[in-house]
């Protein structure tokens, strides 16, 4: 077992009707004015907005609103949020939405104190201070509600890069699984595949980290099982609640301890795809990349990949597990090829070049641009 340091200060309030607590929670931490950050307007159609502002008003919290955060969130909206936060002298940020909204809130919270937040993405400085972030989760996928990471795209340079810092952990996140019942099926699937992919990045570097690996195996089986239950009955509240919590657990750090920080090369490859094709949802891209990545990388840690095949898919070998995985994704109506994402073979070289712009790639195997190209060819 590797030595590790674990820290996660985020408080979770989970359950039906929990949104009504947000006003009292914010006041309890001493804040009176927040920036309410949101996406494209779905929270006004599913009662989340009404519940949120009702709670803020009832607790005496004032707020200013900023709308328009898009999937695969962009730096220009972050800059806009920073300016609004400064002009309005807010004390905290309340992100109401999914991972894109929460990631944008984290970038705004850190950028509030910096001359240019993108310098942190470029690795030119470390984030040491940030406005406190509170979240109301409406789409489970990234676990940004309970981790310190944020991914933002600089559109003009096609850079989809990440930041992370202890000060970016949300203070409190409210998770009411019932509000996700109105999500389209494909968004639920994208979230489940995103969560499985977070687990893969950590799990596959494992060798003798039995406790962490067993936790991750249980989460993988749970995500698969509960997604199947929701496909059979989309109104199953128990299945939804279990899936939502498993997705948060998949990337809140608890299952990653002792696993060397994970590999994350498949995520980098997907970022290269969606930086070039921002219309591609992150979960869709990962559904295409990961089977190809596993096929290419599994020989470099065969014992762990065989363990995954047996314990997660009840498969006799890695190839059979991959087939079962792809069959499951297909049953969930997820894409399985680059062509289904609208990505052609002639784009592979440019995507691979984009992927390598951040430097070293891969832990299980150090990957070159040629390796990335071969993985993408397997995904055609």
**How would you classify residue 314: left for phi > 0, otherwise alpha for psi between -120 and 50, otherwise beta?**
left
Quick: pLDDT tens for 255-311.
999 998 999 999 999 999 999 999 999 999 999 999 999 999 999 999 999 999 999
Domain(s) labelled CATH 3.40.50.1970 in the chain stretch across: 11-178
Q: What is the pLDDT of residue 3?
A: 84
Region 85-111 average pLDDT: 98
Q: What is the pLDDT of residue 179?
A: 97
- Kindly report the average pLDDT of the chain as a whole number: 97
Q: What is the pLDDT of residue 1?
A: 73
CA 375 to chain centre: 22
What is the token pair recorded at 241? 């609640």
CATH topology of domain 11-178: Rossmann fold (3.40.50)
Q: What is the pLDDT of residue 152?
A: 98
Quick: pLDDT tens for 25-38.
999 999 999 999 99
CATH topology of domain 184-378: Dehydroquinate synthase-like, alpha domain (1.20.1090)
Q: What angle do CA 330, 335, 339 make, to 5 degrees?
A: 135
CA 73 to chain centre: 12
What is the token pair recorded at 325? 């995985």
Q: What is the pLDDT of residue 54?
A: 98
DSSP notation for 120-175: HHTTSS-------EEEEESS-SS-GGGSSEEEEEEGGGTEEEEEE-GGGS-SEEEE
pLDDT reading at 353 higher than 80: yes
Question: Which residue is associated with the tokens 């890069």?
Answer: 161
Domain(s) labelled CATH 1.20.1090.10 in the chain stretch across: 184-378
Q: What is the pLDDT of residue 358?
A: 86
CA 276 to chain centre: 19
Quick: pLDDT tens for 183-209.
999 999 999 999 999 999 999 999 999
């Amino acid at each position: 077992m590797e030595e590790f340091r674990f820290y996660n200060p985020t408080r979770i309030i989970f359950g039906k009707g929990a949104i009504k607590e947000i006003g009292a929670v914010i006041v309890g931490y001493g804040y009176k004015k927040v920036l309410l950050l949101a996406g494209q307007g779905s929270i006004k159609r599913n009662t989340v907005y009404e519940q949120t502002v009702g709670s803020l008003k009832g607790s005496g919290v004032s707020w200013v609103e900023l709308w328009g955060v898009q999937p695969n969130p962009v730096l220009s909206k972050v800059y806009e949020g920073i300016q609004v936060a400064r002009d309005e002298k807010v004390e905290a940020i309340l992100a109401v939405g999914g991972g894109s909204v929460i990631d944008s809130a984290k970038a705004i919270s850190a950028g509030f104190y910096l001359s240019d937040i993108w310098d942190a993405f470029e690795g030119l400085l470390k984030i040491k201070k940030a406005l406190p972030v509170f979240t109301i989760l409406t789409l489970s996928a990234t676990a940004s509600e309970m981790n310190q990471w944020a991914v933002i795209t600089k559109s003009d340079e096609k850079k989809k890069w990440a930041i992370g810092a202890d000060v970016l952990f949300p203070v409190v996140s409210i998770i009411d699984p019932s509000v996700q019942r109105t999500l389209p099926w494909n968004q639920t699937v994208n979230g489940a595949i995103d969560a499985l992919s977070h687990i893969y990045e950590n799990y596959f570097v494992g060798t003798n980290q039995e406790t962490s690996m067993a936790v991750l195996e249980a989460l993988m089986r749970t995500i698969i099982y509960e997604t199947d239950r929701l496909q059979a009955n989309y109104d199953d509240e128990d299945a939804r609640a279990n899936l939502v919590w498993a997705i948060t657990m998949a990337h809140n750090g608890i299952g990653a301890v002792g696993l060397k920080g994970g590999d994350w090369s498949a995520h980098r490859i997907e970022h290269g795809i969606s930086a070039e094709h921002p219309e591609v949802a992150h979960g869709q891209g990962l559904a295409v990349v990961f089977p190809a990545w596993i096929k290419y990388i599994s020989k470099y840690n065969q014992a762990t990949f065989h363990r995954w095949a047996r314990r997660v898919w009840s498969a006799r070998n890695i190839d059979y597990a991959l087939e079962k995985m792809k069959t499951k994704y297909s049953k969930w109506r997820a894409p399985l090829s680059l062509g289904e994402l609208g990505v052609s073979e002639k784009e592979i070289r440019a995507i691979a070049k984009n992927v390598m712009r951040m430097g070293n790639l891969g832990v299980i195997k150090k990957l070159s641009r040629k390796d990335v190209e071969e993985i993408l060819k397997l995904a055609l």
